Structure 1
């Protein structure tokens, strides 16, 4: 069995951290930079960065007992450290809302601050477009436009309904992208999606989004107003279809049809240019 097929079938929880570290290149970077993470924590201070991260601490997984202040051990400390180190490591990004949820999941899986930091570096620095979490969020906005283009091609009736109500993808799908489906889909389903995200790249995000839309197309098309449409988009991330993660993962590689890296790259280039032209 190839590595890709093995990962698509789901990485066992006890091996997940090691597999993610390996396939993403995070392990190699960590090995080449011994002590770097600790140096970031011991280095410069930035009051604005620290305040931004601290503000989001209690908003991160408020229902997860391990992130509560009275937990023993409490994961807020490791989460704060990982986000602070990354902010010092990547000045062009610093800290952006959404990164707290991603780093939180990485800490839960790896049980290691340093590994979580290097996996965050792999995601934000290489797997996702460079400016996903920059202040302008141009990469994130671009990918929402790309989803719109893909829906126009593959699910024209859904695209037409969105257009008729004047609903932008930012309104209904921004959380899918900014949190990489964390707190959107069930935990085990997100972990299975991330198995493929680390090994196959960011086109997996579009596969998941298109599968949700295609599978629930009939329900979405029943929407008769903007609030109705927004509620439909919440409903499609719940229920048996997404909780049965094995069959869901099979569907994301079947339902959207062909989706090559080259085609996604072309769409990103086109949509980015359009956004820049709009100012």
Structure 2
């Protein structure tokens, strides 16, 4: 680029890792204009742009979105062909160009053009990455017209995309209808994508946004009430029964004025190299992307240890898929389920389910649409109304709401899907939610009455009583129920209780070890604040306020090391299994109502 010229988008600038089969297939097919349905303005003609096959690897972060051609009609579609929009996180390192070697320099050049990783996800609205949804363009028999308007709006915008995706607010079309005035109609029509904006120079507003995002794609630090430091010293103490703290201990933790920015993990480049050497590709595809990955047999003994130390962002999408596949297979064996369940958990089968669900109405569509724009605030992927991220989130939650008639859709599913979308393509996010629902027992968390939540709380209380009898007595004396502060921890898998970077590390371990991780983390938070809880000045309000805070670890490694120590304690894990069985007996005998604080 010459001096004084506008920033440009070189087609050769890629940051996609060898993390999953993400070949950049392309077509050159045009879409005809479609008539407006209700308030949605008509869509302009579109042309699919082409993307060179294959992408070179990056050092630190996966690409956001790769375009693939739409699927054929279901009657012609093979199980392995799916409509996919590959998504992953944006990191500050996404603005850097570095070779694969873990010893590579990561000096950051001035931002001159949008990283290809971000180009890919913002191009998701173009026809090159979305198949045509014919069924969603007409209402189903008996479908609520407002719900159809929602579903139809997302279907139409899948074909065109929206302008300014990732750096403008967008135009509301469903929660509040487009007005009848010429100005409203003109603004709505102008916001529909035309397929050319990603081919020209960067808009100055886009440059400004991309220059300010952090390594995870947040351009605004989320605001949280009651930011409290989670000190590291208690995590370094032995796992023994502890007595009450000093009677004059303070009743509050150390408050923070703002959430500190995420810091690069310790030894990140070194750990990237270790994971690279530990992983092996399966069936390389044209373009260099493998069909999948597996752990090198000689490194099996290192896997869990490295998970606890933190999976490098560059390898997180690969690692999560491996961990979920392993845990699911183990759960199927332990439950004595047959080959049919193995087949049902196959990624190709689940991708087909996802696509089929997109063409069906859901009674939850209106509520899902209300929740989509407020699921993750301040993240570039979900910033623009009806942008690629919001559309992907809607489609995933829509299809998943049809999966289980008992659970349907609940708000807690949104943060789970949104976090997964930061690393995985939508169809794989759907598959992940199914695995979490069926074999990580999130079905019991989301079912009416939240039976799995109550079981987890029972185990948490028993472990608290065993490790901190003084704290348990303080809860009894002050009538503090565990459900009053811990419910949101379990419903969202700690998505809104710790910083995003900490949440990712917790999820790394959760996907490897299962739901006991959340119970141990909950006990760990109480462990840190045991002196405040048992203080002579403590009361119901001070305890509940403290435990309802947003917790910022002083040292993430100390926190995860403590969780690891508890999880590897055979006595504690054995007790946790016994307590889960105890709870099931209490429920069976109708004695569960009085079993919790």
1:266, 1:259 → 2: CA distance? Answer: 11
1:4 correspondence with 2:304: yes
Q: Retained in 2: the 8 A contact 1:188–1:245?
A: no
Distance in 1 of aligned mates of 2:502 and 2:457: 21
> 2: CA distance between counterparts of 1:189 and 1:203?
17
Cα distance in 2 for partners of 1:194, 1:106 equals: 10
Residue 391 (structure 2) aligns with: 77
Equivalent position of 1:266 in the other structure:
578
**Cα drift, residue 246 of structure 1:** 2.0
Structure 1 gaps of 5+ residues are none
Shift of 1:2: 2.1
Q: Distance in 2 between matches of 1:116 and 1:22?
A: 14
Q: Measure, in 1, the Cα distance between the counterparts of 2:349 and 2:381.
A: 31
Match of 2:91 in 1: none
**Change in 2 beyond 3 A, CA 1:81/1:261:** farther
2:378 to 45, 54, 63: 63
Q: Distance in 1 between matches of 2:427 and 2:543?
A: 41
Q: Which of the two has greater strand per residue?
A: 2
Is the helix fraction higher in 1 or 2? 1
Q: Does 1:100 align with 2:411?
A: no
In structure 2, do the counterparts of structure 1 residues 59 and 114 end up closer, same or farther at CA, with 3 Å as the change threshold? same
Contact between 2:421 and 2:429, CA under 8 Å: does it hold in 1? yes
Pick aligned residue for 1:20 from 320, 323, 329:
320
Mapped pair 1:238 → 2:534: no
Contact 2:407–2:443 (CA<8 Å) still a contact in 1? Answer: no
Alignment match of 2:461 (pick from 121, 138, 148): 148
Where does residue 224 of structure 1 map in the other structure? 538
Post-superposition offset of 1:59:
2.9
CA distances 1:15-43 after superposition (whole Å, capped 9, x unpaired)? 1111111121179620454523211212x
Determine whether 1:171 maps to 2:495.
no
Kept after mapping to 1: 8 A contact 2:407/2:448: yes
Deviations 1:61-112 (A, max 9, x none): 23334323448x45221111111111112222111121111111010122x1
Mapped partners of 2:316, 2:572: distance in 1:
26
Local SS of the residue matching 1:109: coil
Worse-matched range after superposition: 49-58 or 189-198: 49-58
CA distance in 1, matches of 2:551, 2:583: 30
Q: What is the Cα deviation at residue 255 of structure 1?
A: 5.6
* Maintained 8 Å contact 1:186/1:243: no
* Structure 2 partner of 1:39: 356
List alignment gaps of at least 5 residues for structure 2.
1-300, 330-344
Distance 2:515 2:415 in 1: 17
Residue deviations 1:90-136 (CA, integer Å, cap 9, x gap): 222111121111111010122x1011111111222211354110122
1:178-225 Cα distance to aligned partner (Å, 9 max, x none):
111101011111111111111111111122112221122112223522
Alignment CA distance shift 1:52-1:270 (3 Å): farther
Tell me if structure 1 keeps the 8 A contact 2:458–2:583. Answer: yes
CA distance in 1, matches of 2:574, 2:582: 12
Give me the whole-angstrom Cα distance separating, in 2, the residues matched to 1:70 and 1:94. Answer: 24
Q: CA separation in 2, counterparts of 1:139 and 1:90?
A: 16
Q: Does 1:161 align with 2:474?
A: yes
CA distance in 2, matches of 1:90, 1:204: 25
Whole-Å separation in 2 of the counterparts to 1:39 and 1:243: 46
Q: Distance in 2 between the 1:65 and 1:3 partners? A: 32
2:408, 2:495 → 1: CA distance? 20
Aligned to 2:523: 210
RMSD: 2.4
Q: Which range moves more in the overlay, 174-183 or 251-260? A: 251-260
Distance 2:511 2:318 in 1: 12
Tell me what 2:71 maps to.
Answer: none
Name 2:436's counterpart in structure 1: 123
| Structure 1 range deviating more: 185-194 or 139-148 | 139-148
Bigger Rg, which one: 2
How many pairs are equivalent? 272
Which residue of 2 is the match for residue 250 of structure 1? 561
Alignment CA distance shift 1:243-1:122 (3 Å): farther
